[in-house]
Copies of this chain bind each other. A is one copy, B any other.
Amino acid sequence: MEFINKLTFNDDGLIPAIAQQYDTNEVLMMAWMNKASIEESLETGRVCYWSRSRQAFWRKGESSGQIQLLKEFRVDCDADTLLLLVDQTGPACHTGRRTCFYQVVTEKGELNIDSDPLIDPEELYKK
């Protein structure tokens, strides 16, 4: 996959990746990938990020069952940001909401939550 050599990774070997639902164009989340997680995602067709907090592969949906199928893999003009068109099963967010971007800044400069969880997070992560 020669395109990987054209990408600019940060000092930690990571590149930001935006996930967008391929048919509705909703922006679902932003996370980080390294070379190995990019290769795995393209090989398996299921999106795998790199978790900065856990310092480990983050196979989206591994614990929640809410997977992301990869439909299209895009690279920006500077090759330092990725746009993944995905088919997201259920909620993308660990709060159980469809998208992670559920907080909107109000005129008073406060954060207002404007969507509800699709699934209770306790339900999402129970064994």
Contacts and interface: CB of A to CB of B under 8 A. Distances in A.
A81 B93 CA distance: 13
Nearest to A106: B3
A30 B80 CA distance: 9
Given A20-B27, A25-B25, A27-B27, A76 B105 contact: no
A62 interface: no
Interface residues of A, number: 38
Contact of A95 (B24, B26, B77, B94): B77
Contacts of A83: 27, 101
A127 interface: no
A82 to B, nearest CB: 8
A75 interface: yes
Nearest to A73: B105
Contacts of A102: 74, 77
Interface of A: 1-4, 6, 16, 18, 20, 24-27, 29-30, 42, 72-79, 81, 83, 93-95, 97, 100-105, 109-111
